[in-house]
Amino acid sequence: MARICSPVCRLCRREGRKLYLKGDKCESPKCPVSKRAYAPGQHGASSRSKPTPYSLQLREKQKAKRVYGVLERQFRKYFEIADRFRGVTGANLLILLERRLDNVVHRLGFAPSRRSARQLITHGNIIVNGEKTNVPSYLTKVGDVVTIKEHMKTNEPVQNSLNRSARSTRAKWLEFSGEDLAGKVIALPTREDVPPEIEMQEQLIVELYSK
């Protein structure tokens, strides 16, 4: 399975903002984006060229791919699916990305980031509707019940992540039971359910792919 192996802090610096690829670690004062708010590489600090419309569209696409941990070929496939749905293509694209199992596991609080959520899934620690599912790109649907294997419920990193998420507001389209550590998809997400910290301008992605 192909995966992104680049140092994630360099990805944040390239986009010029925090993408929260390391979860709460991104709030640390040691975050490289806070110290060096320019692109990595020998010409990163010296580049002052005015961004073109194409570069803005490209950066928005790259940002979406990196936030959700999707490679180009799969991202393009999501766009083609979103384009066939009724409604606004850009909003449909973000909704598809929100429905990914790795995102749902992260939003339920089992993992501090989507990257660590993918690790939980690929290691076979996530159960969907009573069956082990090791595919991070699985698209959840209404009625799906997502839980974690019994031996992982006392895992320290999982417990720390659940404690942090308990202090924040979970997604409205997900229902979480703290007693048995299980989440349920009670509705499909909408454009408003995309986390505000992502600050996505999806119309730029549509413009890029529509050329």
Residue 189: C-alpha distances to residues 5, 29, 68, 85, 149 (Å): 29, 33, 15, 15, 25
Q: How many CA atoms lie within 13 A of 139 on its CB side?
A: 10
Query: 1-49 belongs to which homologous superfamily?
Result: Ribosomal protein S4/S9, N-terminal domain (1.10.1050.10)
Using 50, 70 and 90 to split pLDDT, how confident is the model at 199? Answer: confident
Cite the residue boundaries of each domain of the chain with CATH code 3.10.290.10. 100-188
Indicate the average pLDDT of the chain.
83
Q: pLDDT exceeding 90 applies to what percent of the chain?
A: 54
Name the fold adopted by 100-188: 3.10.290
Q: What is the pLDDT of residue 92?
A: 96
Residue 29 DSSP code: T
Query: 52-96+196-211 belongs to which homologous superfamily?
Result: Ribosomal protein S4/S9, N-terminal domain (1.10.1050.10)
The pTM for the full model equals: 0.81
Q: What is the pLDDT of residue 180?
A: 87
Cite the residue boundaries of each domain of the chain with CATH code 1.10.1050.10. 1-49, 52-96+196-211
Greater model confidence, 43 or 200: 200
**How far apart are alpha carbons 168 and 175 in whole angstroms?**
14
Short-list 37, 57, 103, CA closest to 210: 57
Count of residues in the chain: 211
Distance of CA 178 to the CA centre of its chain: 23
